[in-house]
Amino acid sequence: MVKKFSAYLVVMILTLTMLVAGCGSGGKGASSSGSPDNGAPAEVQGPLTVKVLDVGQGDAILINTGAQVILIDTGDDKYREESRKNEENTQLFAALDKAGITHIDKLIMTHAHADHIGKAAKVIKKYGVTELIHNGIPSASGAFRNALKAAKDQGTKQVKVKAGDELDFGNGVTFEVLSPTKEIIAEDTKDLQADKKVNVNNESIVGILKLGQFSMLLTGDAEKEIEKELLAAYGDRLKCKIYKAPHHGSHTSSTKAYVERVQPEYAIISCGTNNSYGHPHKETMQLFKKLNIKVLETDKNGTVTVTTDGKAYSVKGER
Ligand SMILES: [Zn+2]
């Protein structure tokens, strides 16, 4: 009896040790795409869930901290594919409805391109948004103006952010804004007023989403010039577990030095099936492979869900 009991104890201790070791691994070896029954550890429980939504060619990232619902970009209002050109893209609303979203606390518009904020005005009208957050650069883009008008009509508070600001997403989750700097904002504002061309991608709100030991770099469409500035300004502080690949996996971004410094375990790419830009570009994919970064893509994996308790995390594609 005593022997049997001690054998049982040994098994129990071994099992517990394995469980603890698994949790403390900070996500290494956590499930990637596929169902949890493929031998991967069970999905990690919240409080933080990040969904890189499948909205076709564009970006829309849904963050739920239990205290707040935050949407970063909305995807495009219309499909971009030639065959469906004037058709309304309803994928965002379908995804938000599926996630049970009835109100959005913060809507962040990374930059004024339609593949990121094309649906912003409709989101503000349909779901109600407490705060509309943007970089304050007075873009003439129709999508941007429509969003500001909708915010005004609905009484949505507008918040302008720049590098150095930190947003509180509730439940210990923060978002530190790294770009654009006040210099970029001032320069592009001046250039726009003088009718000069600006690189709107480089106006993107870039920042680190953080909970405990978990971190995710959100990048909008920021290109290599910004990556260079961020490397100089933040260096090793750029290190993050997960990297939302900038500009849909384009080779205009994700320079080797930058990705090496971020050193992510996963890269998530948001892009549409057979998009006309050829995103993600093969150079980007080759770099991720070379650096042993696991990759999930919304065009192949559908919506990608990241869940974390601030220690361990799981990353899972819909397909
Ligand atoms: Zn884009």
| DSSP state string for the chain | -HHHHHHHHHHHHHHHHHHHHHHTTTTTT---SS-GGGSSPPPPP-SEEEEE---SSS--EEEE-SS-EEEE--B-SB--SGGGTTSB--HHHHHHHHTT---EEEEE--SS-HHHHTTHHHHHHHH-EEEEEE-------HHHHHHHHHHHHHTPEEEE--TT-EEEEETTEEEEEEES-HHHHHHHHHHHHTT----GGGG--EEEEEETTEEEEE-TT--HHHHHHHHHHHGGGG--SEEE-GGGG-TTS--HHHHHHH--SEEEE---TT-TT-PSPHHHHHHHHHTT-EEEEHHHH-SEEEEESSS-EEEEE--
Give pLDDT, residue 23. 35
Domain 33-317 has CATH 3.40.605.10: no
What is the reported pLDDT for 195? Answer: 95
pLDDT per position as a tens digit, 188-199: 999 999 999 999
- Distance between Cα 315 and ligand 1 center (Å): 22
Among 15-29, 134-148, 175-189, 209-223, where is mean pLDDT lowest?
15-29
For residue 168, is pLDDT > 80? yes
Percent of the chain clearing pLDDT 70 (strictly above) = 87
Residue 26 has pLDDT above 60, yes or no: no
Q: Band of the pLDDT at 45, cuts 50, 70, 90?
A: confident
What mean pLDDT is predicted for residues 151-170? Answer: 98
Which has the minimum average pLDDT: 20-29, 73-82, 223-232, 302-311? 20-29
297 alpha carbon – ligand 1 mean position (Å): 14
Ligand 1 centre and the CA of 113: distance in Å? Answer: 7
Q: What rounded mean pLDDT belongs to the chain?
A: 89
The per-residue pLDDT for range 58-96, each reduced to its tens digit, is: 999 999 999 999 999 999 999 887 778 889 999 999 999
Residues 34-43 have pLDDT tens digits of 333 444 456 6
pLDDT, mean of residues 228-252:
98
Alpha carbon of 11 to ligand 1 centroid (Å)? 52
* pLDDT reading at 46 higher than 90: no
Q: How far is the CA of 38 from the centre of ligand 1 (A)?
A: 33
Return the higher-pLDDT residue of 187 and 83. 187
| pLDDT interval class at 29 (50, 70, 90) | very low
Predicted confidence at residue 81, as pLDDT, reads: 76
Q: Is the pLDDT of residue 25 over 70?
A: no
The lowest-confidence range among 78-82, 104-108, 159-163 is 78-82
Distance 114 CA to ligand 1 centre (A): 8
